[in-house]
Amino acid sequence: MSPDPSPTSATTLAPPASSGADPDLELPSVRTPLPGPRSQAWFDRADPHLTGAMADHTLVPFVEAAKRGYLIEDVDGNTFADHMSAWGSSPFGATPADVREAMNTAWDRHGMQISGWVQNIPALELAERLAAIAPGRLSRVEYSVTGTLAVEGAVKFMREASGRPLVITFGGQYHGESTYLTAGVSSDLSNVTSMRAQYVAGVLTIPYPNRFRSPFQPGPGPFDDTAVLDYLENYVLVQQIHPEQIAGLLIEPVLGEGGVHLPSQAFWDRLGALARRWGWLICLDEVQTCMGRCGEMFAMQRWTGIDPDLILLGKAFSAGGQPIAALLGTDEVMGDSELHLGSTYGFTPAACAAALAGIDRIEAGGVLDNARALEQIFLTELAPSLAEFEQVGDVRAAGALAAIEFVRDRDTIRPAPRFQVAVHQAALRRGVLGITQRGKWHYRLQPALTMPPEVFRDTCDRLRDAIAEVAANPPTERGSVLESVAEEAR
C-alpha cells in the first residue's frame, strides 16, 4: 500500500517566470515544499533498504509518480520540466506511441532472445540500418546492451586490430562504471571514483580540449584548445611512451559529464593527422551524443574531416524503449575479428524494434531541427541575459545538450560548485529538473529532443530567475576545488 499522508495546500512556492508560452502547453508547477509529504513518506519507507548513496535525496527531492511528454509529476502533484531525459536515454520524452507499439509487437512475436547467438529479423534489420546511416568508413556492427559494455568492447577491438597495448583517453569523459574504465577517467571529479578506481596499466589520460579553462595557465580564455596536443606531442610522446605503443584514442566528440565542451575544427584536424601518422585508431564515444542529441544524427557531424574507426552508441539509441547499445566499426577493425563480447541482452528483438522506430522518427524530419532550435534559444536568448551575473563564467550548447559554468568571479574563473548546487535547488523550486552533482561547477540541461521551444524558453526564464535568486545571496565556497571535491567524498 502506498503511503498517503495528507498533502499540503496547493500554493506555488516560486511563481513561474512570464515567458509568453502557448497557454495550451502544460508548464511545470511546484505546489509543496520539496520533498513533499508523500515523497518524504516514500523515502522514510524505502531508505532502510537502499544503499547510502541511493538514500541521499538532496539533489532529487521527490518521488516520480508519472511521466508524460516533457514533464515529470511527483507523488505530491508537483510537476517538473524534465531536463534529464533519463540521462539522455528517453530522447522523445515519455515513450512515444510509435516506439512503444514497435517494441510491444516485437516482444509479442519474439519474446526474449540472445540475438548474438540466435539471429532474428529485428536485430538484423537494425544492423543493416545502422550500416546505412553510419558516417565514413563504418560498415560493421557489434551488439551490446549498455554504453559501459560498448566502451569495454571498443578497447578490446582497438588492441586486437592494432596489436598495441595502450589507449589514450581525455580527462572529464565518462565511460561507465566498470572497474577497468573507471581507471580511464570516468568522470571529471575524483570523488566519483574515490577508493574505487583501479589504476591499471594500459590507459593514459591527457586533458580534454577546453577553450574556456586551460590546464596549463590560470585565468580566463579564450584559449587555443590544440595546446593539449602540444602537451601530447612534446611531452607525453617524448618522455613517457612511444607513439607506436598506442592502439587508439577514446574520445567524446562533445564532452558530456565534463561540461558540454566542443573542440575546435583545428583540434580535430590535428588529432586526425596524428592518428594517421602513427597508426592510431580513433574511437568516438557517442553514447551520450548520438541519435540527434547534438543536433545531428551523430555529434561528429558538427565538424568535417573526422574519420573514426569506431563509434559507440547508447542512451538515445534506445529511443526510450529497452536497453541497447552498439559498436560501429570499419571492415579493418571488425571484419576478421574473433572477439566475442558475450552480451546476453544485447540487441534483444524488442529493443531493436524500438531503436529502429527511433531512427525512423528522426529521419522523418523535425527532430534535428527542433534540437537545433533549442540550442539557439539557449545561446541567443538565455546566454545574453546572464551577462549581468558575475558568477556566470560561460554558457555552452550543442543541440539539446547545454551547460552553464559557474565561477566565483570572471577575473580568476575559480570554480563555484556550491553556487551551482544552489542554482539547481532554486530551479527545482521553480519546476526545472536539470543535471547537477556536488563538487561540479557546471549545471546541465538535457531536454527531450522534441521539447516544444516555448516550453524550453519558459525553462530558460525560470533558470535565469533561479540564478538571480542565488546571486543575490551567494553561498560561501571552499578554499579550492580540491577541498570541495574532498568534502563531497566524505
Q: Do 435 and 346 share a structural domain?
A: no
In angstroms, the first-to-last Cα distance of the chain is 36
Which residue did the predictor score with more confidence, 289 or 198? 289
Give residue-wise pLDDT tens across range 415-426: 999 999 999 999
Phi–psi pair at 168, nearest 5 degrees = -95, 130
- The answer to whether position 216 is within a domain reads yes
Total residue length of the chain = 490
Per-residue pLDDT band for 485 (boundaries 50, 70, 90) equals: low
Per-residue pLDDT band for 483 (boundaries 50, 70, 90) equals: confident
Burial of 308 (0-12, 13-18, 19+ CB in 10 A): buried
Q: What is the pLDDT of residue 24?
A: 75
Burial of 201 (0-12, 13-18, 19+ CB in 10 A): exposed
Q: Do 432 and 340 share a structural domain?
A: no
Q: Do 433 and 417 share a structural domain?
A: yes
- The answer to whether position 319 is within a domain reads yes
Rounded to an integer, what distance in angstroms lies between the CA atom of residue 403 and that of residue 254? Answer: 12
Rounded to an integer, what distance in angstroms lies between the CA atom of residue 490 and that of residue 245? Answer: 38
Q: Which domain holds residue 288?
A: 97-363
Residue 258 corresponds to which cell in the numbers above? Answer: 565534463
Mean pLDDT of 5-22: 41
Q: Do 340 and 286 share a structural domain?
A: yes
Of the three residues 363, 379, 399, the one that is the final residue of a domain is 363
Rounded to an integer, what distance in angstroms lies between the CA atom of residue 463 and that of residue 25? Answer: 18
Q: Do 422 and 275 share a structural domain?
A: no
Q: What is the pLDDT of residue 332?
A: 97
Give residue-wise pLDDT tens across range 367-413: 999 999 999 999 999 999 999 999 999 999 999 999 999 999 999 99
Most distant CA pair in the chain: distance in Å? 68
Q: What is the pLDDT of residue 13?
A: 41
Burial of 369 (0-12, 13-18, 19+ CB in 10 A): exposed
Q: What is the pLDDT of residue 342?
A: 75
Rounded to an integer, what distance in angstroms lies between the CA atom of residue 216 and that of residue 4? Answer: 55
The chain-wide mean pLDDT, for the chain, equals 91
Q: Do 445 and 393 share a structural domain?
A: yes
- The answer to whether position 321 is within a domain reads yes
Q: Do 324 and 182 share a structural domain?
A: yes
Look at residue 377 and give its three-state secondary structure: helix
Query: Closest Cα partner for 437 from 195, 176, 84, 171?
Result: 84
Q: What is the pLDDT of residue 341?
A: 86
Give residue-wise pLDDT tens across range 49-62: 999 888 999 999 99
Of the three residues 363, 397, 420, the one that is the final residue of a domain is 363
Phi–psi pair at 320, nearest 5 degrees = 85, 10
Q: Do 426 and 481 share a structural domain?
A: yes
Q: What is the pLDDT of residue 192?
A: 60
Per-residue pLDDT band for 19 (boundaries 50, 70, 90) equals: very low
Q: Do 379 and 318 share a structural domain?
A: no
Q: What is the pLDDT of residue 179?
A: 56
Give residue-wise pLDDT tens across range 308-365: 999 999 999 999 999 999 999 999 999 999 888 878 999 999 999 999 999 999 999 9
Question: Is the Cβ–Cβ distance between 309 and 283 less than 8 Å?
Answer: yes
Going along 274-415, which residue ranges are E strands? Answer: 281-285, 310-313, 325-329, 392-397, 402-406
Eight-class DSSP state of 233:
I
Per-residue pLDDT band for 175 (boundaries 50, 70, 90) equals: confident
In angstroms, what CA-CA distances link 151 with 178, 251, 349, 449?
A: 10, 11, 22, 25
- The answer to whether position 291 is within a domain reads yes
- The answer to whether position 60 is within a domain reads no
Eight-class DSSP state of 381:
I
Query: Closest Cα partner for 208 from 164, 165, 154, 271?
Result: 271
Question: Is the Cβ–Cβ distance between 448 and 91 less than 8 Å?
Answer: yes
Query: Closest Cα partner for 297 from 284, 283, 279?
Result: 284
Question: Is the Cβ–Cβ distance between 330 and 140 less than 8 Å?
Answer: yes
| Percent of the chain at pLDDT exceeding 70 | 89
Mean pLDDT of 82-91: 96
- The answer to whether position 410 is within a domain reads yes
Sequence-distant (6+) residues with CB within 8 A of 95 are 319, 320, 321
Look at residue 67 and give its three-state secondary structure: strand
- The answer to whether position 169 is within a domain reads yes
Sequence-distant (6+) residues with CB within 8 A of 4 are 38, 41
What residues does 341 pair with on adjacent strands?
A: none
The CATH number of residue 457's host domain is 3.90.1150.10
Q: Do 354 and 378 share a structural domain?
A: no
Residue 194 corresponds to which cell in the numbers above? Answer: 574515490
Of the three residues 313, 330, 363, the one that is the final residue of a domain is 363
Q: What is the pLDDT of residue 8?
A: 34
Mean pLDDT of 432-453: 96
Rounded to an integer, what distance in angstroms lies between the CA atom of residue 482 and that of residue 454? Answer: 40
Mean pLDDT of 257-263: 96
Q: What is the pLDDT of residue 92?
A: 97
Q: What is the pLDDT of residue 43?
A: 97
Q: Do 320 and 401 share a structural domain?
A: no
HSE of 223 in the Cβ direction (CA atoms, 13 Å)?
A: 21
Which residue did the predictor score with more confidence, 124 or 187? 124
Q: Give the chain's domain count.
A: 2
The CATH number of residue 356's host domain is 3.40.640.10
Peptide bond before 220: cis, by omega within 30 degrees of 0? no
Question: Is the Cβ–Cβ distance between 209 and 264 less than 8 Å?
Answer: yes
Give residue-wise pLDDT tens across range 265-318: 999 999 999 999 999 999 999 999 999 999 999 999 999 999 999 999 999 999
Question: Is the Cβ–Cβ distance between 210 and 442 less than 8 Å?
Answer: no
Mean pLDDT of 141-164: 95
Q: Do 239 and 384 share a structural domain?
A: no
Look at residue 420 and give its three-state secondary structure: helix
- The answer to whether position 258 is within a domain reads yes
| Residue 263 Cα to chain centre, angstroms | 16
Q: What is the pLDDT of residue 482?
A: 72
Q: What is the pLDDT of residue 178?
A: 72
Lowest mean pLDDT among 88-102, 185-199, 407-421: 185-199
Helix pair 97-110, 349-363: axis angle to 10 deg: 150
Q: What is the pLDDT of residue 346?
A: 93
Look at residue 403 and give its three-state secondary structure: strand
Sequence-distant (6+) residues with CB within 8 A of 132 are none
Rounded to an integer, what distance in angstroms lies between the CA atom of residue 224 and that of residue 245? Answer: 27
In the block, residue with C-alpha cell 618522455 = 239
